[in-house]
């Protein structure tokens, strides 16, 4: 079985250009993804795309515009890549040592 490369873990910084709605989403999801050790420093582009698309979604809703299927599809795709949906999380393997944490949640 091939060994998967292990990039350096940690949260990449939110870019300065991120719209406020995207920055708020970044601040909501990144700490939890980082705590679960699901982030690598090289994941910044995917996070940026997800949060920028989320910002576009929020802005469209506020303006009362119809939501574009392509935008929703992009947001769903990026959310899946980051493990932000229940189905995506079910496909993720916990990092070594975290399996016990997950089991402890059920028995303690």
Specify whether the CB–CB gap between 7 and 42 falls below 8 A.
Answer: yes
> CA-CA distance, 70 to 50, in Å (whole number)?
13
pLDDT of residue 16: 97
The domain segmentation of the chain, as residue ranges, is 20-107
Q: Are 13 and 45 in contact (CB under 8 A)?
A: no
Q: Name the token pair of 49.
A: 């795309």
Sign, Cα dihedral of 52, 54, 58, 60: positive
Question: If you average pLDDT over residues 93-99, what whole number do you get?
Answer: 57
In this predicted structure, the answer to whether residue 63 has a pLDDT above a threshold of 80 is: yes
CA dihedral 70→91→93→50, nearest 10 degrees, is 10
Of residues 27, 31, 25, 37, the one with CA closest to residue 79: 25
pLDDT tens by residue, 5-37: 788 888 999 999 999 999 999 999 999 999 988
């Amino acid at each position: 079985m091939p060994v998967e490369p292990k990039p350096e873990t940690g949260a990449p910084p939110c870019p300065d250009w991120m719209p406020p709605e995207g920055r708020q989403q970044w601040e909501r999801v990144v700490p939890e993804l980082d705590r679960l050790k699901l982030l690598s420093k090289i994941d910044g582009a995917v996070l940026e795309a997800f949060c920028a698309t989320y910002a576009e979604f929020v802005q469209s809703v506020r303006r009362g515009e119809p939501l574009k299927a392509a935008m929703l599809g992009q947001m769903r795709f990026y959310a899946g890549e980051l493990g932000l949906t229940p189905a995506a999380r079910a496909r993720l393997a916990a990092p070594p040592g975290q399996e016990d944490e997950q089991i402890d949640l059920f028995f303690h």
